[in-house]
Structure 1
């Protein structure tokens, strides 16, 4: 048997061992899963939360900690895939929700809070106009549709491995349930190839949409040169540049675009900005967004029963203005940068083929020493080791995404970062022969 085959067999054996312990230690989560399979396909209503042999079921949470159905405690380093920035039941958010509940929930009418929230979002992220939705998926769907109408062009440039919501998944090139737009698939961070594609499709290209750091594809930042090229080339051919900052708007007071110095035509938002409630938004240049102005005879329709629901408006406003201030954003992301540097230092000291990518309060683990420039590079890394890392972290009381993604929430402090670093150090020592 070759050295590679022996190593793979050892990894498989380690995985089988940790999964057996996982099944034995989580009987209540298993029972919940079996029950759920009777009423939901695969016991699941959100694909990303499923993993074999079965997912843990959480019963309560507070601050940056959660407890599962079998009483195990976890430090929440997942942060609801960036949406849980405020932690669980932040007192300022809770007070805003309680106050809103005292006055009713959904009015079926305009309310006094939405304009204040809209102004806060516009001022924070440099938008001229904004409209609210209920998810990042919905925000991206509307932004793409708006760009196609505004430019009178059909084609949408996306990037292999990118993700813009439930109907915009481009891992492996695309998904059978994607919205049926005319896509042009490009390679993230490939300046020359992307420039050539833009020129090739110039007459029909309505927009280019991307995250300034790919989130679900492995926390892979775009180079500044790549983003500045996209801004220049879209302007040259008359296409719109749409930045999906559903995740990355948390990485700086004005979103990641403010750090890079690229001003898109439209930006989409979601996740944490709703204060933990269902939320999405899209906004940007007034001349584009004003196509939705209902005072116009040719106005585009934009429906959504809960677009301005008072719970989201209240929680979002309190979070953005009273909790996640510019100073708080800078502090949280500095903590994330320091943590990622610390973890990478441990990997380097151990001589392990393992690294953590990301920016600020978002990070992801990859089992390779090769540079990660796009999601395809991330996919080449050892996925079985990533699965082993996931189960080992659970055993140490660290909650993270099965795909290796982690985010910091505001309640996470030095003690929690120390706990994660200690767990990673133990993983490096215990699994040394596999790394």
Structure 2
């Protein structure tokens, strides 16, 4: 993966990593989780005066100073000033190894030279906002159909949320039914969320029927006993739901039962398509009716796509007088189309994909070894994973396994620990490895996690 390795340029000026400071709490504080959290919180505030100032300004114009709920942290979020390669620098000049990876969308990092060249050349030599059809969208569509065998036809949109909404619209149009079967802990976009049940902002609330993830017998009965179901939608690994992988048996039970009952099988691969050269549908030998894509494929730009069987995508064929309308000013914008094509052909090739996810398997395995026998539980697949803190220390297979045992104060303490030591992770514990990240860099993080386990072992004992 040499072509994806980055080094910060000298032009970053004062944005450099400060000297390493021993932030291990004094022994007496280690005895109390509440005291440890208070110490960590105060240290966080002291280290980040610029972020605190920016947040205080932001609340005058943005509700809660925020326009993306998942990025909000108490007492205030860190404001980033610069990103390059797999590194970030905040406005207080702290450097971080980026292990968030824009929640899987930032696969190519913050300044990949090939993506940069493509953006500039497209802007200068092609142009943007045509308001017309271009060959760039045809090239990317052909590539996606070749890379994901179940996709015979594809259409573009602007996000994974849109992709899933359009896939559902096809299912409802073609079956004449309304109900959709989903799974607790599933996330299919900003208005299609099922953590702790149906989210307050989920659209079409009366039309959803929820089942338990990885419940083979339960899902068979659910599909069979929902005669007005248009579709069943599922992730092959629940991303936002805690990186819980599906079992092969569970996914095949969905596919086979849905086919028998005339229910459209929608596989949400917005996050998981990067975990295998042809998506997890290929690894699990699945043949979904419809697939939703998004995240990294746009090369860092807004992107979504929904594709699948030709007879289903015909619902959006404008040559038919009965076709459904499908609009979107930026659906086929030249920048995303060009970056998407270059990214999959020149950067995230099949070989690179396998190597990155093999590195991820090593990384997750090391973390699992460190956390063995503790309340720290690590789950995921390939280069995407989540670190949980569960009072029973058992790896979850469904949402309730997390919901019933989650320890939020430990999760928060761990987040403070990693941030203070130069590692950018999400507060919920989700990590996504950026291309170009080395084994040595990941080993550095493994040491940080190991030091946390040692410092707080008495709090982590099951």
TM-score by length of 2: 0.91
Picking from 264, 269, 278, the partner of 2:288 is 264
Picking from 127, 131, 134, the partner of 1:108 is 131
User: 1:90-101 to 2 correspondence within 5 Å?
Assistant: 90-101=112-123
Partner of 1:4: none
Instruction: Supply the distance in 1 between the matched residues of 2:268 and 2:225 (Cα, whole angstroms).
Output: 24
Q: Deviations over 1:349-385 (max 9, x none)?
A: xx42212100001010112321310122122222211
Partner of 1:430: 455
Q: Residue 246 of structure 1: SS of its match in structure 2?
A: coil
Picking from 229, 240, 258, the partner of 1:216 is 240
Q: Residue 301 of structure 1: SS of its match in structure 2?
A: coil
Q: Deviations over 1:332-353 (max 9, x none)?
A: 00000000001111112xx422
Deviation at 1:297, TM superposition (A): 1.2
Q: Residue 342 of structure 2: SS of its match in structure 1?
A: helix
CA contact (8 A) 1:362 1:408 kept: yes
CA contact (8 A) 2:99 2:432 kept: yes
Would you say how many aligned residue pairs link Structure 1 and Structure 2? 426
Instruction: Supply the distance in 1 between the matched residues of 2:31 and 2:75 (Cα, whole angstroms).
Output: 19
Q: Deviations over 1:208-266 (max 9, x none)?
A: 00100000111000110000000110001000110000000000000011001111000
User: 1:27-426 to 2 correspondence within 5 Å?
Assistant: 27-102=49-124, 103-126=126-149, 127-181=151-205, 182-201=207-226, 203-348=227-372, 351-368=373-390, 369-379=393-403, 380-426=405-451
Give structure 1 regions of 4+ aligned residues with deviation exceeding 6 angstroms: none
Deviation at 1:179, TM superposition (A): 1.0
Q: Residue 179 of structure 1: SS of its match in structure 2?
A: coil
Evaluate the alpha carbon distance shift between residue 183 and residue 8 of structure 1 in structure 2; reply closer, same or farther with a 3 A threshold: farther
Superposition CA RMSD, Å? 1.3
Picking from 15, 24, 36, the partner of 1:14 is 36
Instruction: Supply the distance in 1 between the matched residues of 2:120 and 2:259 (Cα, whole angstroms).
Output: 46
Q: Residue 261 of structure 1: SS of its match in structure 2?
A: coil
Deviation at 1:11, TM superposition (A): 1.3
Q: Residue 226 of structure 1: SS of its match in structure 2?
A: helix
Deviation at 1:291, TM superposition (A): 1.2
CA contact (8 A) 1:217 1:378 kept: no
CA contact (8 A) 2:30 2:455 kept: no
Instruction: Supply the distance in 2 between the matched residues of 1:209 and 1:66 (Cα, whole angstroms).
Output: 35
Q: Residue 292 of structure 2: SS of its match in structure 1?
A: strand
Evaluate the alpha carbon distance shift between residue 8 and residue 166 of structure 1 in structure 2; reply closer, same or farther with a 3 A threshold: farther
Q: Residue 173 of structure 1: SS of its match in structure 2?
A: coil
CA contact (8 A) 2:85 2:111 kept: yes
Deviation at 1:9, TM superposition (A): 8.6
Q: Deviations over 1:258-285 (max 9, x none)?
A: 0011110000011001111000000000
CA contact (8 A) 2:378 2:395 kept: no
Instruction: Supply the distance in 2 between the matched residues of 1:279 and 1:83 (Cα, whole angstroms).
Output: 10
Instruction: Supply the distance in 2 between the matched residues of 1:404 and 1:176 (Cα, whole angstroms).
Output: 23
Instruction: Supply the distance in 2 between the matched residues of 1:418 and 1:137 (Cα, whole angstroms).
Output: 35
* Structure 1 residue ranges without an equivalent (≥5): 1-6
Q: Residue 163 of structure 1: SS of its match in structure 2?
A: coil
